[in-house]
Amino acid sequence: MPPAPERRENPRLKIKVPVELYLEGKDTPYRTATSDLSLHGCYIETIFPFPIGTVLELKLQLTGTLLVLATVATSDPQVGNGIKFTKMLPEDIDELRAFLDAAEKEAAEKEAVNKEASEKDSPEKAG
């Protein structure tokens, strides 16, 4: 059976970014890290996921701190939450876009280096 088609507007990068989650009416943040991140959302691994529809305020720690309003989109018991970003300042969107572009470029460069190294290590086929 083929995989389900991608529904996200932007691909998510497997990247850990420190994040503080704030629930409405709570002063104490839940500190964790993303397991993947895109321009429009992220995934947080947690044994105790939040219910779908939970409104969150996030502080993403990139080069600066980005403030994000978000909603829990998926809730996977004992695994985590898919979180959809609902509101960000334009300058925070620009910073996140630049951060993701740089991370994607770095990942592609590492992959190219690893591929080149593995090709050098593999024995040449004799004809």
- Digit-coded pLDDT (tens) for 2-48: 544 545 466 788 999 999 999 988 889 999 999 999 999 999 999 99
Q: Which of 15, 78, 65, 5 is nearest to 41 (CA)?
A: 15
Cα Rg, the chain, nearest whole Å: 18
Give me 62's structure tokens. 């990139």
Is the pLDDT at 54 greater than 60? The verdict is yes
Q: Where are the domains of the chain?
A: 18-119
Are the CB atoms for 30 and 50 separated by under 8 Å? no
Distances (CA, A) of 53 to 70, 73, 82: 9, 6, 11
Which whole number is the average pLDDT over 103-122? 79
Class of domain 18-119: mainly beta
